[in-house]
Structure formats: structure tokens, C-alpha cells
Chains A and B, each alone.
Chain A
Amino acid sequence: MKSDIILAGVGGQGILSIAAVIGYAALNRNLNLKQAEVHGMSQRGGAVQSNLRISDEEISSDLIQSGMADLIISVEPMESLRYLPWLSKNGWLVTNSKPYNNIPDYPDIESVYSEIKKLPNHIIIDADGIASEMKSRKSSNIVVLGAAIPFLPFEWDDYEFGINKLFGRKGEEIVRTNLEALKAGMEFCKTINK
């Protein structure tokens, strides 16, 4: 078993939180893990990504080879496309639909969606909308993670472990909201997944 995942977004959108939840889930399963993060300059509103590799065998490289990623999880639609060279032929792309527009030449959003829809395996989720409905805007990254659950090698209790580990010190309320956000993303995926 191996799962190579690229997390994508803009600095400050919370992809390291997604990485941490998946990381703890992998620990809970006793799986090997390597997780390469971006720190430093790019965190200031620039494009950021994280390479997450999970396997029951020893993992060599911290980076995923091009064409070998099983999954791209993106909290921003244009950013999801930046890492297509790494996505494997049958890999899945799961992305938030809400654009983060902090550049002057952001492309027409409909063209972005149609590029995403050219892929055989993709999920576009209005994570910001779902999170707002739940009155928890900050959890939109966790909603996106929820939508990726069908493509990840974990059980629900692994995620519970991860969310508790990551948000536990912020109080029960925050843990509960994030678990709900995760569930909402997962439910959305069920409704559209054939």
C-alpha cells in the first residue's frame, strides 16, 4: 500500500493543518510517512504545496516523482492545476471551488473549472460555502480534506485521532466543529460520487 499526496493552496490557507491531520492518521495506522513542507518566503500569500507520502513499506524520497501522485488535495482551484505534472494517470484531484484572488492576472474562473473537468477523476467542492453554512468559515480546509476521504487509506477513527491531536488544545468546541466539517466534506463526496 502506498499513497502519494500533493497538498496545494496559497500561503495562509491552512494546508499544513490538512497535512498534520493526515500525518497523525498515518501514525495511528502505524504507517510510514514523509511529509515535505514549504516554510519561509512563499508562506506570505504565495503558492504553497506539501508532498505527503504514506506507505507500509520504507519511503525513500521526501518528494513525489512526476506522474506518480495518487491524489491532489487543493484548497484553491487554480493552485490544484499547478501540480498536474505530478498527478498519475488515474489519480484524483479534489479541490475547493472558491478562488483566492490576490494577483492581478488571475484567470477566468470558468476556464479554471473546465481545465479541472478535463481530468477523468476530479471533485470540485464549495468548501467555503459549506463551512459558512456551518458558521465555521475557518474549517473550509478540513471540509476539502473530508471530500478526499474516499481516496485515502484511513478509517474514521484515524481522522478523529488526527483532529483531536491537532485541535485538542484549542478546546472541545473547535474539535467538534472540525469533525463536523470533515463529515460534511465526506457527505458531499458521497452525493456526487458514482
Chain B
Amino acid sequence: MKNKLLLGDEALAQGVLDAGLSGCYAYPGTPSTEIMEYIQNSKLAIERNVHRSWSTNEKTAMEAALGMSYAGKRAMVSMKHVGLNVASDAFINSAITGVNGGLIVIVADDPSMHSSQNEQDSRFYGKFALVPIFEPSNQQEAYDMAYEAFDLSEKYQVPVMIRITTRLAHSRSGVQTKSVREMNKSRLPGDMRQFILLPAIARKRYKGLLSNQEHFTSESENSHYNHIIEGSNKDLGIIACGLANNYLHESLKRTSLDYPILKISQYPVPVNMIRKFASSCKKLLILEEGYPIVEESLTGLLNMEYKVSGRLDGSLPLDGELNSDHVSRALGIELPASREVPSLVANRPPTLCPGCGHTDVFLALNKALATYGKGRVFSDIGCYTLGALDPLNAIDTCVDMGASVTMAVGAADAGLIPAVAMIGDSTFTHSGMTGLLDAVVKNSPITLIISDNATTAMTGGQNSAGTGSLEKICLGLGVDREHLIMMTPLRKNHDKNIDIMKKELEYNGVSVIIAQRECVQTAARDKRIAAALKLKKVANT
């Protein structure tokens, strides 16, 4: 047993590693990135040769993890909440195939959208796929659940989801670790038809999954993560899910309120436990970090006389992450006196770094498009999304990974010609390539700019799958060599780059401009690493 200071993400990573993980599969995405990064740097993972390189997107990650499970080993896949949208086909179907080696799906949600386009709650996906879900309330539980989840997964041959949110993912605390377990030996599935989802087999598998639901519920009823804390004042019972428990205890600390509390951190919801708890209290307050999923199931459509409050009835805000202030207000606890933010404090949104290549692309693009007018730049997810802000105001859309290419195609279909798609290299290989094939097939009049900084920059500079081969990928997809142009986005090339863009905007077909310059952050990092290595060498000689 060792005490380590770990982020929630890192606690999950250490937990799966200690439980005998053979492979981690992931695509970077805030707030999940640190899970894979921790495994990549872990001595244990390196010693055991645990698979730990990035996948091209969340779907390929999910499928590769399922493949490792098929071969009998324990596999984990991690992603941010919107990544699960990309991986959802594989995820939902993996519940029907079931698993051979244990399979854990870690999804990090981002309520309050600190670094995301939405705040969808992955517990819905878990429920949709009919799989058990863990929702840790602190770093220790994150470790423990990750350590135990493989056993549950292998017991019922089902993938298990662990859902965390930004606050826990990126908060550090002491964690007690357990003994390191052996990795699984590779072995084929006992039932060799299990993974063939032909309708006849899928129907059988689905019935099996359905009949397991009562077992999953009974696991929840008996889970040490779900329990009741007795209280003397039965006027109100509080159900607190996952992280909400912390805010509840923080709020109650300053009071003498003594309500009974039901803590839920494992799903499906422990039905009998909730029934028993509800019948012992006059009404219920439900605290959830995310959508009101438990609250909705308890309120139901009929809105019985039994009073259930939470996010749905306005006791708590319907959106955003929870905090102790919200919980205190819902409980009628007076907040400590506090000051206002002085009015002179100005907003400070994130910006592109000084010297960033994306900036030079935008400056040239704004000029090249001046004669056509505003409203024709479809962009994507990455640092360059910041091109939407002052003073650049250079892009008009940002929806989901890869949407720049296909939205430009659709807009061109509607007559918005020329339409421009602006995408980064990592997002292009994640989900832009198939859209480019659509464009090539019908020779759509779009100009695609791939702003290639040779990394996945926004999440901290992870490897990018297309580095060094973007040109070949585009040619392979059928882009005309004449209209595949390379450029270097530097200030000194500004005029030349405007001319290139103008020329391609005039072309009535698919043009691809690859604007190549290394990310200034990774360039500085690589320089630091090289200097450190040199220092080490000098010290050794």
C-alpha cells in the first residue's frame, strides 16, 4: 500500500494498471487526456509493455479495446463525453457481444463546458447500452472502482463504464494503492459465436444482456459504493450521486442539519434501496453532477404526490456543474458573506499563442476571402477554433470533429461557393478524411485548408496520426495533384499565401491547402527536452 498524490484521471489509470491492464486505447480530449498520459509514463506499464499509444479517434480506440478483450486480455478505453458519440456504435454493440477479457470504458464528462461544445451526461449512454456504471465521488473511489471494475466485467462478460466529470478528473488528492495483479493470459472466447452479431445471434445475446439487468441491479444494491447514512430529521431525504456527495458534506459541515443521505455511486440505480429510503422520508432532494437522470426516473410522468426535487423543479440549476453554493441554497443553508468581482475586471478568454501558425493562416485567409464577403469558413475542434474570437473573427462554425469538411460540402451544395473548410491535422485524421472523400467523389467546389502543426495541440501536444503523411492521404483519397498545395504559414509568406488561397478559391472543384508549421508549444517543449538530454550527457562524461 502506497499513498500517492493523484489527479482523478491518474487514480483511474493507476487503478486499471494495478488490476492487470494489458492495453489502454484513447484519443486525447479534455478532461480525459491525463488517463492515457499517465499510463504512457508509468514504469509499471512500460515494464509490462502495456499498449499505450494514441488511437486515431474514439471509435478506433473502442474497437481496438474490444479486440483486445476478445483475445482474453484486460483492456481499457478512455475518452471525453463527446468522444463517446463517435465511439457509440462500437460501445452500444459491445454490450451485445459482451466481452472476454475485462473491458472498462472510462468517459470524462465536462459539465459547465470548460473545454467542450456540450455537457451531455454519459450515464445516459451507459443506461442506453444497459451496462453497469461506476461514478466515483473522490480520487480514492476512482482508484478502487478502476481496480474492481474488471472483475465485474469478467463476471458478467459485459463492458463496464466509469463516468467522471471535470472537477474530479483534474483534482489531485492522496490515494492508497493496492497490490499489483497479474495480467490475463491470452485466450479465445469460450463461445466462438459470441462476437458475430448476425441478427439470430444478436437476439440471443440481447436477451442475455436483458436477463443480466437484475444481476447488475443486485450488484448495485450490495455495492459498498452505495449506502445510506442515517439521519434523525426525516422531513427530507437526500440522494447524492457521485461527486455531488462532496458538495453535500461540505454544505452540511457548517450546520447542525441531520438529514438521512443515500449515496449512489454504482448503477443501475439500487431500486430496493431507493424504495426503502424514500419510504422512510417525507420528501426527497436529488443531487446529481450532470443531467437529472435519477431525479427524472423517480419523478416519472405521473408526478405522484410524493415530492421529489432537484434540477427539474428548480431547486438546483438545470445546467452547469454542481458546487457547494448550489447545494447549500437547495437546502436553505445561508451562504457565508462574500464580495463582488469589481466591475473593472475584464474577461480574459484563451487566445492563440504568440507566433502560432494558425494565426498566419487566418490572416491570409481573411484577406483572400475579402472580395467574397463573410460567412463561408466552416471550421472545427482544436486551438484554431479560437480564430472565432477578436481580432481574427475568421471562422463561422465549430460543431464536431470533422464537421468543417462536410458542412462546407453541404453549403456548397446549397450554392455557397466557394465554401472553405479549415481543420487541424489531428482532427482531419480523426474524422475529416471520410468527408474529404465525399467532396472528391462529387468534385465539390470547396477549399479545404489543413492547418498542420504536427500535433494534437489543444490537449497538450500529443502525437497526431497524420504527421508526415497528410499529402499522401489526400492524394490517396483522390485529390487532384494540381490542387493539392503546400504552404508555410509565416508572416514573410503572407502575400504569397494570399495569392495561393485566392487562386484555389476560384477553382470550381476540390482544393486542399496544407499549411505546415510546427506548433510553437511543442517546438519549445522539444527544445527543452533536447537541452535536458544534452545536460545529462555532459554530466555522464
**Is there an interface contact between A84 and B342, defined as CB atoms closer than 8 Å?**
yes
Contact with B along A75-95 (1 / 0, CB 8 A): 000110110111111000000
Smallest distance from the beta carbon of A87 to chain B beta carbons, Å? 6
> Which of chain B's residues 262-312 have a Cβ closer than 8 Å to chain A?
none
* A87 CB contact (under 8 Å) in B171, B250, B339, B342: B339
Chain B positions within 8 Å of A86 at CB level = 338
**Is there an interface contact between B345 and A102, defined as CB atoms closer than 8 Å?**
no
Say yes or no: is B115 at the interface (Cβ < 8 Å to chain A). Answer: yes
**Is there an interface contact between B250 and A81, defined as CB atoms closer than 8 Å?**
no
Interface hub of B248, B325, B350 (most chain A Cβ within 10 A): B350
**Is there an interface contact between A44 and B323, defined as CB atoms closer than 8 Å?**
no
Interface hub of A27, A38, A60, A82 (most chain B Cβ within 10 A): A60
Say yes or no: is B173 at the interface (Cβ < 8 Å to chain A). Answer: yes
**Is there an interface contact between B535 and A171, defined as CB atoms closer than 8 Å?**
yes
Chain A positions within 8 Å of B337 at CB level = 67, 89
**Is there an interface contact between B346 and A78, defined as CB atoms closer than 8 Å?**
yes
Interface hub of A65, A87, A102 (most chain B Cβ within 10 A): A65
Closest 3 CB pairs of A and B: A67-B336, A40-B30, A40-B115
* A60 CB contact (under 8 Å) in B5, B7, B249: B249
Smallest distance from the beta carbon of A20 to chain B beta carbons, Å? 9
Nearest-neighbor residue (CB-CB) of B29 within chain A: A40
Pick the interface stretch among A105-113, A124-132, A141-149. Answer: A105-113
* B324 CB contact (under 8 Å) in A37, A40, A63, A115: A63
**Is there an interface contact between B114 and A40, defined as CB atoms closer than 8 Å?**
yes
In the complex, A65→B173 CA distance in Å? 18
Nearest-neighbor residue (CB-CB) of A24 within chain B: B5
Asked whether A84 and B339 contact (CB < 8 A) given A33-B172, A62-B167, the answer is: yes
Say yes or no: is B383 at the interface (Cβ < 8 Å to chain A). Answer: yes
Not counting A39-B30, A41-B350, a sample of 10 additional A-B residue pairs whose C-beta atoms are within 8 angstroms of each other reads: A38-B170, A39-B34, A45-B350, A62-B168, A62-B246, A63-B324, A78-B344, A81-B345, A82-B341, A84-B340
Nearest-neighbor residue (CB-CB) of B251 within chain A: A65
Say yes or no: is A166 at the interface (Cβ < 8 Å to chain B). Answer: no
Chain B positions within 8 Å of A59 at CB level = 173
In the complex, A113→B323 CA distance in Å? 30
Q: What are 30 A-to-B residue pairs whose CB atoms are below 8 Å?
A: A10-B348, A33-B5, A33-B174, A37-B171, A39-B30, A39-B33, A39-B34, A39-B115, A40-B114, A40-B459, A42-B114, A42-B115, A44-B351, A44-B458, A45-B348, A45-B350, A51-B171, A59-B173, A60-B246, A61-B323, A63-B167, A63-B247, A63-B324, A66-B335, A67-B339, A82-B341, A85-B340, A102-B351, A108-B344, A170-B532
Say yes or no: is B445 at the interface (Cβ < 8 Å to chain A). Answer: no
* A85 CB contact (under 8 Å) in B253, B324, B339, B391: B339
Say yes or no: is A46 at the interface (Cβ < 8 Å to chain B). Answer: yes
**Is there an interface contact between A66 and B336, defined as CB atoms closer than 8 Å?**
yes
Chain A positions within 8 Å of B253 at CB level = 60
Smallest distance from the beta carbon of A137 to chain B beta carbons, Å? 16
Say yes or no: is B349 at the interface (Cβ < 8 Å to chain A). Answer: yes
Chain A positions within 8 Å of B344 at CB level = 78, 81, 107-108, 111-112, 115
Say yes or no: is A32 at the interface (Cβ < 8 Å to chain B). Answer: yes
In the complex, A38→B337 CA distance in Å? 26
Chain A positions within 8 Å of B350 at CB level = 11, 41-46
Say yes or no: is A185 at the interface (Cβ < 8 Å to chain B). Answer: no
Chain B positions within 8 Å of A38 at CB level = 114, 170
Say yes or no: is A47 at the interface (Cβ < 8 Å to chain B). Answer: yes
**Is there an interface contact between B328 and A65, defined as CB atoms closer than 8 Å?**
yes
Say yes or no: is B475 at the interface (Cβ < 8 Å to chain A). Answer: no
In the complex, A63→B348 CA distance in Å? 21
Smallest distance from the beta carbon of B24 to chain A beta carbons, Å? 19
Chain A positions within 8 Å of B167 at CB level = 36, 62-63
Smallest distance from the beta carbon of B213 to chain A beta carbons, Å? 33
**Is there an interface contact between A84 and B341, defined as CB atoms closer than 8 Å?**
yes
Say yes or no: is A103 at the interface (Cβ < 8 Å to chain B). Answer: yes
Say yes or no: is B330 at the interface (Cβ < 8 Å to chain A). Answer: no
Chain B positions within 8 Å of A42 at CB level = 114-115, 350
Asked whether A34 and B5 contact (CB < 8 A) given A65-B324, A88-B336, the answer is: no
Say yes or no: is B92 at the interface (Cβ < 8 Å to chain A). Answer: no
Chain A positions within 8 Å of B328 at CB level = 65
In the complex, A84→B338 CA distance in Å? 8
In the complex, A23→B4 CA distance in Å? 12
Smallest distance from the beta carbon of B250 to chain A beta carbons, Å? 4
In the complex, A33→B139 CA distance in Å? 11
Say yes or no: is B318 at the interface (Cβ < 8 Å to chain A). Answer: no
Say yes or no: is B386 at the interface (Cβ < 8 Å to chain A). Answer: yes
Say yes or no: is B441 at the interface (Cβ < 8 Å to chain A). Answer: no
In the complex, A10→B350 CA distance in Å? 9
Nearest-neighbor residue (CB-CB) of A170 within chain B: B532
In the complex, A102→B349 CA distance in Å? 10
Say yes or no: is B353 at the interface (Cβ < 8 Å to chain A). Answer: yes
**Is there an interface contact between A44 and B352, defined as CB atoms closer than 8 Å?**
yes
Chain A positions within 8 Å of B352 at CB level = 44
Contact with A along B242-256 (1 / 0, CB 8 A): 010111111101000
**Is there an interface contact between A107 and B324, defined as CB atoms closer than 8 Å?**
no
Chain B positions within 8 Å of A61 at CB level = 246-247, 249-250, 323-324
* B170 CB contact (under 8 Å) in A23, A32, A37, A81: A37
Chain B positions within 8 Å of A88 at CB level = 336
* A44 CB contact (under 8 Å) in B336, B386, B390: B386
In the complex, A111→B247 CA distance in Å? 36
Smallest distance from the beta carbon of A106 to chain B beta carbons, Å? 6
**Is there an interface contact between B383 and A44, defined as CB atoms closer than 8 Å?**
yes
**Is there an interface contact between A32 and B174, defined as CB atoms closer than 8 Å?**
yes
Chain B positions within 8 Å of A68 at CB level = 336
Chain A positions within 8 Å of B249 at CB level = 60-61
Chain B positions within 8 Å of A41 at CB level = 30, 114-115, 350, 458
In the complex, A103→B346 CA distance in Å? 8
> Which of chain B's residues 325-365 have a Cβ closer than 8 Å to chain A?
325, 328, 335-342, 344-353
In the complex, A170→B528 CA distance in Å? 11
Smallest distance from the beta carbon of A34 to chain B beta carbons, Å? 5
